[in-house]
């Protein structure tokens, strides 16, 4: 049976972990979904790993639509999540335009970067049958505002703001959360406070699921982030590495302490 939002919510309720990987084409989409990974994210990280850009900012909606179509064609039952790219969430009108294009390209869920100011958009999209994943913490589209790829929520004030935003967004109808580069204690607190499943990356093993960029997980990044583990190093095979990642997330061995902040 295809994985749905209900599948992930049930796993959260049962205390069972789930895995997520980025995907950008039909071939890897097939490999990832056949390995049992519950969800695939067509991330605007394609700007970095596919296009060679220094950030996700140059990625366009047309490019996101193209890669979503590719992933959808190869998918064997995973949930497909697609990023709304830079400035796509600037207004409600632009969000609706981007969400329509991505859903029609084959996405099951659209992902927005931001905080509680997205509550209205989440409610409107949910009312129109579009589940929303909200990406919080280190949001790569805001790297220029942050002044770099920095851990978020380290002090009491910013931590409370992240928690309050997550609770407000959960009440507005957010279907999923992604927490990136958020301290372990705060990530666990947010995960426990919201009904929606929470996906961590550089966050906490207590999150309901975990996501990595495919190319990072395969050891192809010469300067990997602290939260990355190279699953190719022990397997030497792409398919086996994807399966090893999926097992490690589900048995709780990844992320380990060294992958957290």
129-161 per-position pLDDT tens digit:
999 999 999 999 988 888 877 899 999 999 999
pLDDT of residue 145: 84
Question: Does 12 have pLDDT greater than 90?
Answer: yes
pLDDT of residue 146: 82
Q: Give buried/exposed letters for 106-133 (b at 16+ CB in 10 A, else e).
A: bbbbbbbbbbbebbebbbbbeeeebbbb
14-34 per-position pLDDT tens digit:
999 999 999 999 999 999 999
Catalytic residue check, 69: no
pLDDT of residue 150: 84
Strand intervals (E) in the chain: 18-22, 39-42, 79-83, 109-113, 132-137, 176-180, 198-201, 209-212
Superfamily for domain range 5-259? Phosphoenolpyruvate-binding domains (3.20.20.60)
- Whose tokens are 């209205």? That residue is 120
CB 254 within 8 A of CB 248: yes
Q: Cis peptide before 97, with omega less than 30 degrees from 0? A: no
60-92 per-position pLDDT tens digit:
999 999 999 999 999 999 999 999 999 999 999
Question: Does 41 have pLDDT greater than 90?
Answer: yes
pLDDT of residue 144: 86
pLDDT of residue 149: 78
**Helix axes of 119-127 and 92-105: crossing angle, nearest 10 degrees:** 40
Question: Does 259 have pLDDT greater than 90?
Answer: yes
177-230 per-position pLDDT tens digit:
999 999 999 999 999 999 999 999 999 999 999 999 999 999 999 999 999 999
- 38, 180, 189, 206: the active-site residue: 180
CA pair distance 72, 204, nearest whole angstrom: 29
pLDDT of residue 117: 97
Question: Does 255 have pLDDT greater than 90?
Answer: yes
CA pair distance 159, 151, nearest whole angstrom: 11
**Three-class SS state of 80:** strand
pLDDT mean over 155-169: 97
CB 25 within 8 A of CB 67: yes
């Amino acid at each position: 049976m295809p994985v749905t939002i209900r599948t992930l919510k049930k796993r959260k309720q049962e205390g069972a972990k789930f895995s997520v990987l980025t995907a950008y084409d039909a071939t890897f989409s097939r490999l990832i979904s056949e390995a049992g990974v519950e969800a695939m994210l067509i991330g605007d990280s394609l700007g970095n790993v596919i296009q060679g850009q220094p950030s996700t900012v140059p990625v366009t909606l047309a490019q996101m639509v193209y890669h979503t179509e590719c992933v959808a064609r190869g998918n064997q039952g995973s949930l497909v999540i697609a990023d709304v790219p830079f400035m796509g969430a600037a207004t409600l009108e632009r969000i609706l335009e981007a969400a329509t294009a991505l859903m029609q390209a084959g996405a099951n869920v659209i992902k927005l970067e931001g905080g509680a100011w997205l509550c209205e958009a989440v409610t409107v999209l949910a009312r129109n049958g579009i589940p929303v994943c909200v990406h919080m913490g280190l949001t790569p589209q805001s790297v220029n505002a942050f002044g770099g790829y920095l851990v978020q929520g380290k002090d009491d004030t910013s931590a409370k703001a992240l928690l309050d935003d997550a609770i407000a967004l959960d009440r507005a109808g957010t279907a999923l959360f992604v927490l990136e580069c958020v301290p372990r204690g705060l990530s666990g607190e947010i995960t426990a406070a919201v009904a929606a499943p929470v996906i961590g990356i550089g966050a906490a093993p207590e999150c309901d699921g975990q996501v990595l960029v495919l190319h990072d997980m395969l050891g192809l990044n010469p300067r990997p982030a602290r939260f990355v583990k190279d699953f190719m190093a022990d397997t030497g095979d792409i398919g086996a590495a994807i399966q090893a990642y999926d097992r490690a997330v589900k048995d709780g061995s990844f992320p380990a302490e060294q992958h957290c902040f």
